[in-house]
Amino acid sequence: MNIERELFRFQDKEYQAFQSKLIPTVPKETVIGVRTPELRKLAVQFAKEPEAESFLQELPHRYYEENNLHAFLIERIRDYDRCIAALDSFLPYIDNWATCDCMSPKVLGKHLPELLDKIREWMDSGKTYTVRYGIGLLMRYYLDDAFTEEYPGMVAGVHSDEYYINMMIAWYFATALAKQYEQVIPYFEEKKLDIWIHNKAIQKAIESRRITKEKKEYLRSLKRKE
């Protein structure tokens, strides 16, 4: 299967223009304009081809959609160790928030204890989208039954000038306010977060339907002046 030819077969010029505006870190000429449902269908088909394994080794890719296809192929890996190896190889090449956030292999959710060590490693990497991915996994898998008070501390311990890391930290704490309010409200009351993250997390929490009106009013009172 010629992947580049297949991707251009599904090109949508209007979607290309729209998508390019959402991912400013990606050069416009590397965005083909393929909608996600088409990419996922292609991943299902391509995963059956012998060339799929070699495609996963061909890094870096040229096009944004090739990266997303790569992400969707990783999602289909059912062996935990093989999935982690594929993520370790791919994460350093991710150059935008959309590719980073779209990749959610189901096998990871079945190995939460051992996944934590890998999350810590990724969060300590210093690489923008590797750090973001690690925080995203903490938000996805460790804010419900697997939650402990250690995890928001791990996220609060990340300090960066990178917008896409800080936005993920804010997203994590907004979600944590919805799911583990009593455990994370001290981070706001005691001003443990960088001021931009503090205010952005409150803004996102106030927009959430999962937080009561009373809690939203209290959160508004905790906003800090820049």
Cα 128 to Cα 146: distance, rounded to the nearest angstrom: 25
Question: Along the chain (226 residues), what's the average pLDDT of each consecutive run of 10 residues?
Answer: 90 96 96 96 92 93 97 97 98 97 97 97 97 98 96 97 98 98 98 97 96 96 92
The closest alpha carbon to 32, from 55, 8, 50, 58, belongs to 8
Q: What pLDDT is attached to residue 105?
A: 97
Q: What's the pTM value of the predicted model, to 2 decimals?
A: 0.95
Q: What pLDDT is attached to residue 2?
A: 86
Cite the DSSP H helix spans in 47-162.
51-57, 64-75, 80-90, 97-102, 112-123, 128-141, 150-156
Q: What pLDDT is attached to residue 174?
A: 98
Burial degree of 29 (CB within 10 A; 0-12, 13-18, 19+): exposed
